[in-house]
Amino acid sequence: MIKKIFIILTVFFFLNGCGFTPIFNSKNINIKIGEIDYDNNKINRNFAKSISNLSNQTSDNFYNLNISSFSEKNIAAKDSKGNPSVYNLRLKVDITLINNNDEKVIKRIFSENINLNNIDDKFKLKNTEDILLDQMSQKILQDIFKFLANIK
């Protein structure tokens, strides 16, 4: 027990003293997100929650945000019997920022693709798809943060 506490304190002091700062924080983004409209699904909820946490509440640039996402799974290749052997997963996210002051509208589309080999166990296949969709959404979320940091 004492060993665990010592390790935790040591890691805390090293991270505190090394000058670590998060890359994506509200100080880097110069916009304030007001209302966020999105379809009620897991991916959109995660995007909305992450973006609202990153919004800079002291900024004068006030935007409303619309998020829509679309995921699809297509057959990319078949084996000799005609059964699917490779799937292509695609995640597409449309972001629309609306500035109510000067009616400025900024639209941007983010997308990610990945290939997935077929698995006989459909439960494992579905779990693998969910994991890959989460990974793709994290990548798109990083791209969205970069995009929001560059808005003036």
**pLDDT at 145 (0 to 100):** 84
146 confidence band (pLDDT: 50, 70, 90): confident
**Model confidence over 73-96: pLDDT tens digits?**
999 999 999 899 999 999 999 999
Q: How far apart are CA 62 and CA 99, in angstroms?
A: 6
Question: Residue 6: exposed, middle, or buried by beta-carbon count in 10 A (0-12, 13-18, 19+)?
Answer: exposed
Q: How far apart are CA 118 and CA 127, in angstroms?
A: 12
Residue range(s) defining the domain that contains residue 80? 23-149
**Model confidence over 27-54: pLDDT tens digits?**
566 777 888 888 888 888 888 888 887 7
pTM strictly above 0.85: no
Give me the CATH number covering residue 28: 3.30.160.150
- Is 6 a domain residue? no
- Is 1 a domain residue? no
- Is 2 a domain residue? no
- Is 93 a domain residue? yes
Whether pLDDT at 16 is above 80: no
What percentage of the chain reaches a pLDDT higher than 70?
Answer: 89
Question: Total domain count for the chain?
Answer: 1
- Is 14 a domain residue? no
- Is 71 a domain residue? yes
105 close to 96: Cβ distance less than 8 angstroms: yes
- Is 61 a domain residue? yes
